[in-house]
Structure 1
Amino acid sequence: MIVPFLAGLRDFAVAPLTWTLIFLNMGFYFITSDPRPAPTAKESFFEVRNLQRTGVYYRQYLGMKDLPEPHELVLWGGKAMRDPGFVTAVPEFPFRGDADEIKNWRAEVSKLRDQTGARAVTKFGLPRDPAVAVQKPLTWITYQFMHATPIHLLSNMVFLLLFGIAIERLAGSLTVLLVSLLGGIFGAYFSMKLDAPSALPMVGASAAVTALIAFYLVYEPRKNVRYYFFFSPFQGFYGEIYLSKWWILPLCLLPDLVNFVTEFIPSPAQLIGQTVATTAHVGGALFGAAVAIAHRRFIGEGEYDRSGPDLGPTENESLI
């Protein structure tokens, strides 16, 4: 395991904006999280029989006449409930089949929509349908503070802490604020332009975080920075090392780039739909890199605090 450690962990006085963003994300999560346990598969609309039935109706909605295998219908049903056009059309569309079954199914879909609409993730998450998103401008900001799970929150906060502190020392608090928030907005816009509309709202600070990572990587690309490695608890197999900034690319950004490319390769798995907005991550990274290039050209590179532990030598300097 090797991770960029950069400026390390600093207190609030050194990086007030970064810590404020972290506290806001954590506070927003605990305030808006639903303490009730998630329903089991049998209690949920998304049990196999319902998904198969939904898959049949969705293929009718799309004008498809053939009927695939039952396991494929489950995938079609999952895709159906992510299609905002289909979900909206459910009450009035002339589905073919048993009238009572269709009536009961419509009631279940309506109940699911009511339950989903009452959740905080729907209120504060960013709609992936551009026509709806423009009518809820505040969600372009609030979605960046919403997280689906504790792991989702923790992973984003770790990277926000490491890269936010480093950038705040390097280029100031305002830079962290603008790059993260505007990177999150641009990442969401980029995702909407490339991905199909979805009934699932977009949540998470990932686009903002990848914007910060890309900014840090491009801003002073020739700097060597501190990494922490751990391969075993034995002496010599863990510790700190200074390496090129470009190790950040495979360690932090390459997985998103690979997922971004594979999204455009046709496969049956695409029926499931994307639950992770990889395109938003890539959009955030592109924004962060562009801002770093503009900052270097028009404002100039920042100066490191020479007492900081993240300052490694440049490529033309030696480690002593």
Structure 2
Amino acid sequence: MVIIPTEKRFDWKHSPVCLFFIVLVNILIFFFYQSGDGEKFGRAVTSYNSIGYFSTEWPVFKKYLESKNETRLLAEYNDIYQQGDYAQLSYHLLSNNDFFEYLKVNRDKTINLKQIGHWRQREAIQKEIQSMSNLAYGVRPDQLDPVTLITHQFLHGGVGHLLGNMFFLIVCGFAVEAAIGHFRFLIFYLISGIAGGLLYAIINKTSPVSLVGASGSISGVMAMYLGVFRLKKIEFFYWFFIFVGYFRAPALLLLPFYIGNELYSYFTNVDSNVAFMAHTGGFIAGSLLILVSLLLHLKVVNEDYVEEDQKIDPGQEKLARIYDHIEKFQFDAALKAVNIVIAEQGATFDLLYLRYSLLKIEKKGDYQKSLMDLFTMEKISPPQLKKIEQVWLDNPDQHQYLNEDETLKLGWRLSSLPDIRTSENLFSILYANEKKHPSLGFFARKLSVVYEGLDNKAKKNKYEKIADSLL
């Protein structure tokens, strides 16, 4: 379930300078610094296994974990070993710097390094793996470094992690920066991230897993958003399975929900890689920062900005009403509202697809017309075209109502998708007619060109011959 405060719309009167700076720094660090982590990992693990260190050190590593009473971790690593995932196990072993220090002290007692190469090579491998961004600058509870409480906020575990965090930061951050000021926003943002990292480290004090990401900081920003508006009723966007829409509620009413949701997830999703406690720490810090500032009567919040009425997009308001009907299972009312919006604003793909989805529930009224409107729609994007293809496949009984011109146009458009089997089926329908469509030869030529690009010579030659016979 996603619930995001959306009371304010972006405007250049309150340019979010610090927000843009933070987003830019995160993107630059990910693509120009963290991009080398994969190569470092590959080189280190390949060298470690090819020289033979893993087979020699694995028994020693197990004894080391036993000496530390890390029974849960040992059981987890034994499972990985039984699965034969030695690369992952090598990473866990190499990323444990305490184990390396243990080896340095006990190497003469535990392993015969003369059989597997010089110790200098082992040190070089360790240095390379430890230079990976998450190990060098992420928060490691078992080796907590105060510097990493700042640096981990600008690192991410992948493109999806980065994009997701930056989306939530931008959606919530610009309003918070406008309300509390540039410098205070930056300081409060960093403090929230520090709090998130600290709570994560305290709860997972023996864990070797590094924390990276701006989630704690962003949770703090979301809490600050609620704190800025306090008990004022503001707009929230929600997405719960198929239910999407907006509602209004006192801002601070959602804070216990946010924190409770993170705590519930922490105790129920025990195998998740999400740092729920970092989120919780951020929420608590962000709300406390605003609360303490207000209690001290500091002029933290720009009340004029908070109270400023926001112009609501009429189109968005109408869509919100439609989704509100859907949420309440009032499908007839939702359909009526969709038809009104189409009549007033014109047909867009999203509106036509929404109308089709509502009519599909009972397949009544204008269901056939809703299909035809989708099939014949012009100027659509590839993702929209993919949806239209699925609509076509889901409704074989409706194919007969598309005339030859419309069938050919649809087939032509579908030939631009990565999988052109549906386009080919449409061609077959037209080719089976005794009287061939005047443009069918051009359609055949199109399919020939597509198959040539797919390096399918048989299909390319087939459609080339058909095109030659028709043109």
Q: Answer yes or no: same fold by TM over 0.5.
A: yes
Aligned mates of 1:291, 1:87 — CA distance in 2: 41
Which residue of structure 1 lines up, in the alignment, with residue 357 of structure 2? none
1:148 Cα deviation from its structure 2 partner: 1.9
The question of whether the paired residues in 1 share the 8 Å contact of 2:10 and 2:175 is answered with: no
Instruction: Report matched runs for 1:155-174 at 5 Å.
Output: 155-174=164-183
Please give the secondary structure, in 1, of the residue aligned with 2:59: helix
Alignment check: 8 A CA contact 1:84 1:199 kept: no
- Aligned mate of 2:60, from 50, 57, 68: 57
Aligned to 2:384: none
Cross-structure match for 1:284: 282
Q: What is the aligned partner in structure 2 of residue 91 from structure 1?
A: 104
1:10 equivalent in alignment to 2:7: no
Residue of structure 1 aligned with 2:294, choices 293, 296, 299: 296
In structure 2, how many angstroms separate the alpha carbons of the residues matched to 1:69 and 1:238? 39
Aligned match of 1:223:
232
CA distance change for structure 1 residues 86 and 183 in 2, over 3 Å: closer, same or farther? Answer: same
In the TM superposition, what whole-angstrom CA distance separates every residue of 1:49-73 from its partner, at most 9, and x where no partner exists?
A: 9888765323312446999799436
1:307 to 2:287 alignment = no
Q: Conserved in 2, the CA contact under 8 Å of 1:8 and 1:309?
A: no
Letter of the aligned partner of 2:24 in structure 1?
Answer: F
Q: Which residue of 1 aligns with 2:27?
A: 26
Deviates more, 1:142-151 or 1:299-308: 299-308
1:114 partner letter: K
For residues 122-137 of structure 1, the aligned pairs below 5 Å read 122-130=135-143, 133-134=145-146, 137=147
* C-alpha separation in 2, matches of 1:254 and 1:107: 50
> What's the CA shift for 1:225?
2.1
Compared CA separation, residues 100 and 112, structure 1 to 2 (3 A): closer
Q: CA deviation at 1:162?
A: 1.9
C-alpha contact (below 8 Å) 1:8/1:162 kept by paired residues: no
Q: Deviation digits for residues 28-77 of structure 1, max 9, x if unmatched?
A: 2222132566749x958699x98887653233124469997994363995
Secondary structure of 2:212 counterpart: coil
Return the offset for 1:222. 2.1
- Equivalent position amino acid for 1:28 in 2: I
Contact 1:190 1:280 (C-alpha < 8 Å) held by counterparts: yes
Residue identity in the other structure for 2:132:
R
Show the 5 A alignment for 1:220-259: 220-229=229-238, 239-245=245-251, 246-247=253-254, 250=257, 253-259=259-265
The one-letter amino acid paired with 1:241 is F
Structure 1 residue 171, shift from structure 2 partner: 2.4
The answer for the alignment partner of 1:72 in structure 2 is 79
Q: How many residues align?
A: 293
**Greater RCO structure (CA 8 Å; 6+ sep):** 1
| 3-state SS in 1 of match to 2:106 | coil
Question: What CA deviation, in whole Å up to 9, does each residue of 1:97-129 have, x standing for no partner?
Answer: 774798479888645422223334444434544
Range with bigger deviation, 60-69 or 289-298 = 60-69
SS of equivalent to 1:10: coil
1:178-219 deviation per Cα after TM superposition (whole angstroms, max 9, x unaligned) = 211111122223333332245554321111111122232344
Secondary structure of 2:213's aligned partner: coil
- Report the equivalent of 2:150: 141
Residue aligning to 2:131: 118
CA distance 1:209–1:129, shift in 2 (3 Å): same
Supply the distance in 1 between the matched residues of 2:135 and 2:65 (Cα, whole angstroms): 26
1:185 alignment partner, one of 194, 211, 214: 194
Unaligned runs of 5+ in 2: 83-87, 313-471
* Aligned CA distance change for structure 1 residues 69 and 255 (closer, same or farther; 3 Å): closer
Aligned partners of 2:275, 2:260: CA distance in 1, in Å? 15
Partner of 2:330: none
C-alpha distance in 2 between matches for 1:202 and 1:117:
15
TM-score for the superposition, normalised by structure 1: 0.69
Identity fraction in percent: 19
| SS across alignment from 1:91 | helix
- Does the C-alpha gap of structure 1 residues 302 and 13 become closer, same or farther in structure 2, counting only changes over 3 Å? closer
- The one-letter code matched in structure 2 to 1:182 is I
Q: Kindly indicate which of the two structures has a greater share of residues assigned to helix.
A: 2
| Contact 1:82/1:198 (<8 A) preserved | no
Alpha carbons 1:229, 1:239 under 8 Å: kept: yes
Listed as ranges, the gaps of 5+ residues in structure 1 are: 311-320
CA distance in 1, matches of 2:133, 2:9: 31
CA–CA separation in structure 1 for the residues paired with 2:76 and 2:268: 25
The answer (yes or no) to whether the contact 1:6–1:309 under 8 Å persists in 2 is: no
CA RMSD of aligned residues (A): 4.4
Change (3 A) 1:254 1:68: closer
